[in-house]
Structure formats: C-alpha cells, structure tokens
Amino acid sequence: MKRFPMNRMRAAVLSRLRGRHLLATLTVALVATVGLVACTSSNAATSSGNGKRLSVVAYSVAKPAYDALQKGFASTTGGSGVTWRSSYGASGDQSRAVQHGQQADYLAFSLEPDLTRLVPKFVASDWNNGPTKGLVSESVVAIVVRKGNPKKITGWDDLARSGVKIVTPDPGSSGSAKWNILAAYTHVLARGGTDAEAETYLKKFYANVVSKPDSGSKATQTFLNGTGDVLISYENEAIAARQKGQALDYIVPAESILIENPAAVTVTAPQAAKDFLTYVVSADGQKVLASKGFRPVLAGTSLPTVVGANDPAKPFPTVAHLVTVADLGGWNAINKKYFDDPTGIVSRIEAGAQ
C-alpha cells in the first residue's frame, strides 16, 4: 500500500511537549475497551453450561435435514428455547474433530465406524441399544447425471465406459465415498460376479474418476459447477439438490447398498440433546427426514410428498438387489477388506492409480 510520507523532522520539540496526545490516547483506550469487552463476552460465548444450547456435529449432506429437524423440534415442549451450534463436514473429518476436542452434544455421521471410534470416551457404549439400533435415517447410493441424462447412463456398467467422467468424494475423509465404492464394487457380486471381476470393474471405475472432493456436499458442489458427467452420491443428496432448484437427474440403479446413518448423544450432553434424539426417531422427526429425501428407519412412517424425488408420490423406490452392511459381514470386516491401508482393495487400487 502507499508508503507513509516522511516529513516529521520539521516539527519542533516544544510543540510536541504540548500534550497533543489526545487522539492517540483515545485510540488506544478505545481499542483496549473493545478488547476487554470482547474478552468477557467471548468467555460467555464459549461456556457450554447452558442446557438449552446444543452443539450438533454432523456429516455434510445432513445439513438440510437437520435445519428442518431443528425447526420441527422447536415446536415441541422439550425443544422450545433451544439454540443451536452446528458443524457440518465430511463424516470422517467430523469424527476426528470430536476426538480432537471439538465440542458436541449430538452426533450424526454417515456410517457407523465414525461413531463407534468415539466409544466409550465420547459416546456411551449402549448408544445402539434402542429400537432403531442407533440409526436415524437410511438412503441408497444413487447415480446423479446432468439434466436429460445426455450420456445415457442406465446403471453401474455405463460408468466404466471410456469417456465418462465420475465425481465421487475422497474415502479418506468422506463417509459418502465409502458407501459409493462399496456399492460400485458389490453390484458385480450382486449379479453373480466374482471378487476378481468386481476388482477389475472398480479399477475401471477409478480410472474414470476426475475429482475426489473432501465431502459429499463438496462433491455435489463440484458436480454442479460443471465438473464431470456423473456424480455418485446419496439419494437424499440428489433430492436435496433438486429441492434447491438445481438442474439434474438421478438414477437409483438396480444394484445398490443400503446406507445406514447413525446418530447419538455424547456422554456430556444435556437432557435437551437426548430429547432431540428422541424427536429425530419419532414419527414426526422421521416424517421431516422423509420430506428432505432421507428414507425413514421407523417402520410405518407415513411418507409425505417428497419434492425433488423422481416420483414425489413414491419417492423411495425399492432397489432390486440391495446389499446391506450385515450382508458384507459388518464394518470391521468391510474396513479390513476394502479400506485398510495398505492391504485393503481400495487402498491398493488408489495406490496403483498414483
């Protein structure tokens, strides 16, 4: 910036001694006062003794859902007067953040391992003892395409075609990414293929990946900004994007994986957080989730018309070959087989692609 012109030498000493320091003193005093006020108010702002201020740490694509759930909760008795502090980001990153000291009362992640790593220090070990086994929502992996489906994608096999550019998040940080990869791999198995064939497919899939953003919602943003032909994401994220008026189409492929999203309260959470969790798995809460494109876990939830779904009246089509985590042997087995560094299938493929 402009250099400060130097013309000080002309001033006489005695005129200096004439107490012309008012402005400087005032400036310093003002800054000091602001600082002091700031310090005291900041202390108040960060203290979490207030039972009515809840901290939510959630995975990135859950934001539209939790914005709506927070509004819905406010109209219940337990929820009136609650103020929120919410953080959204890639599921794995958010989980690690809580581990590193980020404050949280209510946790919502994309997949179970991100929650179970916080047991027992942050989450009680009986978190999944409830009727819904700790889950609050479900979804399936969907293939999102440009409006009108110009590349004529009908299913997973089309993604291995040369020239199809795929956007999928980075499995190192994102929960969505892991679901996507599992769905891509297991679709081969679901149709009677072998592991070797599935691995070949996954290599072709990876060869077509042009961008690996950090989180599910960042992947959506990247896709909407014009990168890639195809985005692999949650069904609920596709619906949410369409609810925001974005021009895209999505396909629920014939083979997919059942995405199960867990949520829990932390060990230090106040009663209001527990009430919120109860609300989320209640009929009302599940209806709110459904309206945002999430498949409810509570059996018998009446589905509202879901704006943005392919068929708003029947928003959650049955998937012909739906694989579940249980089918694959549970998350420990899954992580070992696919994601562990360096022997997991995905780690090997990613390293090979390096």
CB of residue 288 to another protein, shortest distance in Å: 19
CB of residue 266 to another protein, shortest distance in Å: 14
Nearer to another protein by Cβ, of 283 and 307: the residue is: 307
CB of residue 117 to another protein, shortest distance in Å: 11
Nearer to another protein by Cβ, of 211 and 301: the residue is: 211
Q: Please tell me the distance from the alpha carbon of residue 323 to that of residue 320, in angstroms, as a whole number.
A: 10
Residue (of 208, 213, 204) closest to 233 by Cα position = 213
Q: Which residues contact 44 (CB under 8 A, 6 or more apart)?
A: none
Q: Where are the beta strands (DSSP E) in the chain?
A: 53-59, 83-89, 106-108, 135-146, 166-167, 209-211, 230-234, 248-251, 255-265, 295-296, 321-323
Q: Report helix, strand or coil for 191.
A: coil
Nearer to another protein by Cβ, of 50 and 194: the residue is: 50
CB of residue 248 to another protein, shortest distance in Å: 12
Nearer to another protein by Cβ, of 11 and 326: the residue is: 11
CB of residue 90 to another protein, shortest distance in Å: 7
Q: Please tell me the distance from the alpha carbon of residue 227 to that of residue 68, in angstroms, as a whole number.
A: 29
Is 164 within 8 Å of 229 (Cβ atoms)? yes
**Count of beta carbons in the 10 Å neighbourhood of residue 236:** 31
Torsion of CA 144, 145, 146, 149, to 10 degrees: -140
Q: Which amino acid is at 281?
A: V
DSSP string for 126-157: TTT-STTTTEEEEEEEEEEEETT-TT---SGG
Beta-bridge partner residues of 177: none
Nearer to another protein by Cβ, of 109 and 316: the residue is: 109
Nearer to another protein by Cβ, of 23 and 299: the residue is: 23
Is 159 within 8 Å of 184 (Cβ atoms)? yes
Nearer to another protein by Cβ, of 154 and 268: the residue is: 268
Nearer to another protein by Cβ, of 20 and 314: the residue is: 20
Q: Which residues contact 263 (CB under 8 A, 6 or more apart)?
A: 106, 107, 108, 109, 115, 134, 135, 136, 277, 280
**Count of beta carbons in the 10 Å neighbourhood of residue 226:** 7
CB of residue 67 to another protein, shortest distance in Å: 10
CB of residue 164 to another protein, shortest distance in Å: 16
Q: Report helix, strand or coil for 345.
A: helix
Nearer to another protein by Cβ, of 130 and 172: the residue is: 172
